Structure 1
């Protein structure tokens, strides 16, 4: 722990830059648990952290990486001891607290979740923040009354991390899943393999949603994209249906009307994976290691990289070019 590699971003009089550097344990953020990181994930927020316009990181130098999975090395926390297999997603990790792109992380044990049975370190980060967000989205829709017999469920941004895992989970649970993506022809076969019954372009979805209200098409929608297209999605929800909204890759604002809400009882469900209560966090992770485990996604949709390969991958995810999940191996 006296000398290990980490991906560092810097912003000073020399400008904004990032590279792999050597750290020691004294340079890490404070906490009552030290974890040896085996894998971290690549998420949209990590791409923002690595951009001077991202407005994610407020102090430099900094180690990004909003999730990680590894083994406890030292602990003064009552719930964890050396050797425990743990993961962390959300809280301040990779935003205000040195994150997962480091061989070692020191953090609060209150942020940690024991890796559930059924998942190894790589699978845990193959799911990662994106998969946990997908799990929360599915959980919220089911809690709001969604069942397979109610009709098709649309997943937007279906080739991304949240979308592709949501497709796989819903299909395994018996739902009729329609995958929407801007890369429909390029990745149609892969999305079918994940369980999508059909694949449509985002242009087709929006073109059919003109007027104050559109034809009732979807029992529910999982939307990690956000932006201006959300208005059209809300118009096409069946009576009493819901949209689980978790992202802003297409923008942080949208214009809409009250009509879907007051004439069809549509509900817009906000999905927050950062400060999700621990009891629910543990329950959803338990399902992700068991009946909700996205088996096909983990078999076919994971790309493994090293710290040195991070800059280009982080740039790609900001440009909307991510497909599936990318994990960073720290070993």
Structure 2
């Protein structure tokens, strides 16, 4: 590992000031992603600023029934907090399925949202990769792309975003709070993740020195019956081939509201708005769910090795909606 400077801070303002002043500075929280990338030579900071002493660990109620999650709250803590497990079970399930117990005890919520793709071409440090070295090309386009995206892709990148909990947060319109050199910002989470387009190296709108401070989940009664399902090669800790967060409200046999988001198939956590709109007013049946799923996946652009993801995602949507309509996991 190359030499690094290290600083430990106790206030948000100090953390922002130090990182913003160093073009190669970076924040360090749980370190479960950042340290891996430094060891691989993919991330090359000169300075790591340890933010673990910042007062950003709390999980608190918001007026009207929402919840604010501090950016340094650990995944395991958030998953077992009664207000999350009760009001947003899909979020709790996504956290529990997102990593091993050891990683969940270390990984912070803010760090989870900012983690980089697990695309092997990005992480090997030598293959052409537009995320790592803009303009060098995308090795996955014609390479081994079984785990890659089929939605939101471009000719410059087809890497998936790896976060599980981000999928559930996107389904329920979470808001990301930040502090930076330009002051505080509120960023709707669906806007927090940028499609690759011509600039796949730019994954989110954070400016250098801008720090996530909290994540708000707004009130959403439909979330109380939500589910998160994850389909992967192994049932032990593994990244999703396809995942789905689903919630549905049914009245008199018809769908009156639906929330749906996918993981493992998009270049960002994928809010399935086409399917949601298709479901409104439709009978709450497997046939309606399948039609909505097919409509959502009609825009998919599969590659040589990941064509199976299109059908797997459609089946996952049907199962998720069916389970949610029956009352979720509880």
TM-score range, shorter chain: under 0.3
TM-score (normalised: structure 2): 0.24
TM-score (normalised: structure 1): 0.24
Larger strand proportion of the pair: 1
